[in-house]
Structure 1
Amino acid sequence: MDVLSDVITVARTGRPRSAYVRWHAPWRQQFASVPGSAGFQVILEGRCWLLSPHSEPLQLAAGDVLFLPHGSGHTLADSPATAATGAVCSPEDAELPGPYTSDSVDRLGRRGPATVVLCGAYRLDPSQTHPLLLTLPNLIHLPADQDRHAELHAAVRLLAAEVGNPRLGTSATVPALLDTLMMYILRIWLAEQPARDNTRGWAAALNDPAVAAALHAIHRDPAEPWTVATLAVEAGLSRATLARRFASMVGQPPLSYLTWWRLTTAARLLRETEAPLRSIAARVGYTSEFAFANAFKRAHGLAPGAYRRRR
């Protein structure tokens, strides 16, 4: 596994939700702030406005993609002047006809010009959220650009077809396509960060060949008895240079990140598998179940067995 793949695999919990929604002007839909979630909006047809407390009103057109990695509240409307009506959509309110509540098609509004939006949401486990996600801005806007973002728009078309016309296999296809969509959004955003600040942050780390090599080595094989020296070999740098550059970009030293990743991986295995504790300990680099249990309790506040039972 590489870092970006693991970011999505580990952070997500439960089933992602999506819907294909058609509004007819005049309309205005408010989306509640939901900490511990990540949402996206893709404009498939027509135009609308994004109204957010974090930015000026922004007009959106077909092909535009919005990603809200922290579940920030926002509003979509046919015009900034349209008055607020109807209920606030929230993933927690199953009875509301909101776009986060079902994988079905919802049609709201009456006779005005239509806007079609593909909406979705992920639930994230706050205790497992990768630090890369924590550093993202409240809103990522990727304007329509078929030439530059061809893979992203291909994923959008496939997802819209599945959600707008459910068929045999849709229940399995939609979560995989949502993962793909999120992957392309993060990949594009990371690649397009300004080069002027190339010494700090996860965008810098993943765009730096040496630091990225060390990170990928940790994610590829967390059970390996890594040291700063062996990671420096992977990176092609001296130990001192890797340690300094890694800490500056990632925010913690290489071995601290290694420990965090091992115990985060262990937590996922405890939640999602019935593997014995001894086996999980070995898979994340601990030579004894006792050492693993002590490290896990320090990180998560519970012994591994109690954590598994609670989850």
Structure 2
Amino acid sequence: MDVLSDVITTMRAGLPHSARVRRTVPFGRRFPASGGAGFHALLQGAGWLIPQAGDPVALEPGDVVFLPRGSAHGLADSLSTPLLDVSPSTPLLDVPASSAEIRPGPDEVRAPAGGPVTVMLCGAYLLDRSRAHPLMEELPEVVHLPTTGGHRSELRAALDLLGGELERSRPGTDAMVPALLDMLLLHILRAWLDERSREGAATGWSAALHDPAVATALRAIHDEPGRQWSVEELGRHAGLSRAAFARRFTALVGRPPLAYLTWWRMTIAARLLRDSDAPSNAVAGQVGYTSEFSFAHAFKRTYGRPPGAYRRQVRGRAGS
């Protein structure tokens, strides 16, 4: 699996939700912070995203704003319009939707007749913040992807497909919408990473994924996290000497190669313990440990408790 897809799959917790929202001008909403990530895409009209910190962002049709850490923010037709608070139970979406369900057509908020109308697609993703991937942590509080630029065609197509499903519920919509939301999230992240690379501003993970040698090694780790990798073998995959590879990988990823491998193994192990019924020894084997004891020791060093206790805790929390 490629690194970007793997990151999203591992961080995801529960189903995303989305809505097509229509507002008559004037409108203003203040959204509280949430534990997930969210986006707003302007389809018609004009508006402003007003972050809690930083400058307001003017929005035109086709623009997308992504909030990777679910930061508190406002949405309004004008900077002079007062903001009404949105219920904390429906962060990022001013509609009555559960945080773990997808509600397509019925979630559309319809404007009364008369007056200019703004139409937006809004959505929220539930992400596991306890093990956030450093790639996601590098993103700014607000990612603004304006409609300008030829590289937006794929993002535009994803928005059109999602908007069509949310506008009119049809057979298959319940299966289609979560897949389209995942696709949209990947297009948003890909567009941001590509933009950073084109502008020559790529650093850290955005640079790592565009560096042929480091990206090759990362793909190898993510393809086979249970393999007994050595720095020398990863360097051969990358086409570099051991020393040159270790320096470049550490500089871009922020961890030495084997430290990142261990971090990623523990991240996968936590997900398997949370989401599957696989016994601890099977989880250990999947992430490269031949000894259940050594796996339990490494897991406890990372999470502060052995695998069994961790599984009971996270499942107890989910059921409460």
- What TM-score do the two structures reach when normalised by structure 2? 0.90
Q: Give the Cα–Cα distance (whole angstroms) in 2 for the partners of residues 233 and 123 of structure 1.
A: 38
Matched, 1:147 2:150: yes
2:252 maps to which residue? 249
Q: Give the Cα–Cα distance (whole angstroms) in 2 for the partners of residues 96 and 116 of structure 1.
A: 13
Q: What is the deviation of 1:83? A: 1.9
Q: Percent identity?
A: 51
For residues 115-154 of structure 1, the aligned pairs below 5 Å read: 115-145=118-148, 147-154=150-157
Q: Is the CA contact 1:99–1:120 (under 8 Å) kept in the aligned structure 2?
A: no
Q: Give the Cα–Cα distance (whole angstroms) in 2 for the partners of residues 258 and 144 of structure 1.
A: 38
Deviations 1:26-78 (A, max 9, x none): 111111112x3111001111111122233322221111011010111111111
* 3-state secondary structure, aligned to 2:247: helix
Pick from 209, 213, 216 the counterpart of residue 206 of structure 1.
Answer: 209
Q: Is the CA contact 2:31–2:91 (under 8 Å) kept in the aligned structure 1?
A: no
1:270 maps to which residue? 273
Q: Is the CA contact 1:5–1:183 (under 8 Å) kept in the aligned structure 2?
A: yes
Pick from 207, 217, 222 the counterpart of residue 219 of structure 1.
Answer: 222
Deviations 1:215-266 (A, max 9, x none): 1100000011001001001100011111111111111100000000001001
2:82 maps to which residue? 83
2:63 maps to which residue? 64
Q: Is the CA contact 2:37–2:125 (under 8 Å) kept in the aligned structure 1?
A: yes
Q: Is the CA contact 2:11–2:133 (under 8 Å) kept in the aligned structure 1?
A: yes
* 3-state secondary structure, aligned to 1:211: helix
* 3-state secondary structure, aligned to 1:124: coil
For residues 281-292 of structure 1, the aligned pairs below 5 Å read: 281-292=284-295
Q: Is the CA contact 2:18–2:124 (under 8 Å) kept in the aligned structure 1?
A: yes
Q: Give the Cα–Cα distance (whole angstroms) in 1 for the partners of residues 240 and 224 of structure 2.
A: 20
Q: Give the Cα–Cα distance (whole angstroms) in 2 for the partners of residues 276 and 51 of structure 1.
A: 47
Q: What is the deviation of 1:95? A: 11
1:63 to 1:93, Cα distance in 2 relative to 1, 3 A: closer
1:117 to 1:136, Cα distance in 2 relative to 1, 3 A: same
Q: Give the Cα–Cα distance (whole angstroms) in 2 for the partners of residues 40 and 282 of structure 1.
A: 38
Task: Name the aligned partner's letter for residue 20 of structure 1.
Answer: R
- What TM-score do the two structures reach when normalised by structure 1? 0.93
Q: Give the Cα–Cα distance (whole angstroms) in 2 for the partners of residues 100 and 119 of structure 1.
A: 14
* 3-state secondary structure, aligned to 2:55: strand
Q: For structure 2, which runs of at least 5 residues remain unmatched after alignment?
A: 315-320
1:39 maps to which residue? 38
Task: Name the aligned partner's letter for residue 86 of structure 2.
Answer: V
* 3-state secondary structure, aligned to 1:137: coil
Matched, 1:2 2:2: yes
2:49 maps to which residue? 50
Q: Give the Cα–Cα distance (whole angstroms) in 1 for the partners of residues 309 and 97 of structure 2.
A: 36
Q: What is the deviation of 1:193? A: 0.8
Q: Is the CA contact 1:263–1:296 (under 8 Å) kept in the aligned structure 2?
A: yes
Deviations 1:168-210 (A, max 9, x none): 2222221111111010111111111155455x41001111000
Task: Name the aligned partner's letter for residue 14 of structure 1.
Answer: G
Pick from 176, 179, 198 the counterpart of residue 176 of structure 1.
Answer: 179
Task: Name the aligned partner's letter for residue 68 of structure 1.
Answer: L
Q: Is the CA contact 1:25–1:110 (under 8 Å) kept in the aligned structure 2?
A: no
1:205 to 1:95, Cα distance in 2 relative to 1, 3 A: closer
1:15 maps to which residue? 15
Structure with higher strand content: 1
* More deviation, 4-13/102-111: 102-111
Q: Is the CA contact 1:100–1:120 (under 8 Å) kept in the aligned structure 2?
A: no
Matched, 1:187 2:187: no
Task: Name the aligned partner's letter for residue 210 of structure 2.
Answer: N
Matched, 1:260 2:259: no
Q: What is the deviation of 1:144? A: 0.9
Q: Is the CA contact 1:19–1:100 (under 8 Å) kept in the aligned structure 2?
A: no
